[in-house]
Amino acid sequence: MTVLHGLPPICDQRAEVLILGSFPSEASLAARQYYAHRQNQFWKILGAVLDLPLFTMDYAAKQAAVKEAGIAIWDVYASCERVGSLDAAIKNGVANDFGHLVATAPRLQRVLFNGRTAGRFAPQLTALGFTTLILPSTSGANASWSYAEKLEAWRRAIEDGIVAFHEQRRRERGTSPHPAGSHRRLDP
């Protein structure tokens, strides 16, 4: 089996929230882009949360938009061996160096894990002082959550993490933070 190497983080000093996946799919590695597989709902969900057309933007514009929103994107594994794209097939994974995030993104406070495989690293990030939350995977293979349920979980987690960005967007649109009755607790 060949050792695969992940992608560099999308991150700058504005990051307040870090989204960690497990390891890029075959489609993502081939394209050198996070969440490149068309069936993955990541860009659609994040775009809905941020009220931006991320799904249809080119990759450079996506990167600029998430940085502007105070979001960083990376994976828990720097490298691994894997046949196919399923998390269950990951072997001999080597974790990324999360410690350098403190210097790269001094405003970073919250880490959101895109699914349970990535979420196995929650204790490590909690030990570094970050607030962590495991969210439902945006993978097309995750059929245990509906799109609406995933969107609601991601919306609450991101809006709680990047309050300033969302408050500014709400002021621009003249809307309230949450429609009546839309706030419910997520127990991952």
**Mean pLDDT for each 10-residue chunk of the chain (188 residues)?**
93 95 95 95 96 96 96 96 87 92 88 96 94 93 87 92 64 56 36
Confidence (pLDDT) at 179 = 41
pLDDT at 163: 65
pTM: 0.85
Residues across the chain: 188
Catalytic residues: 40
User: Residue ranges per domain, the chain?
Assistant: 3-173
Q: 3-173 belongs to which homologous superfamily?
A: Uracil-DNA glycosylase-like domain (3.40.470.10)
pLDDT at res. 23:
95
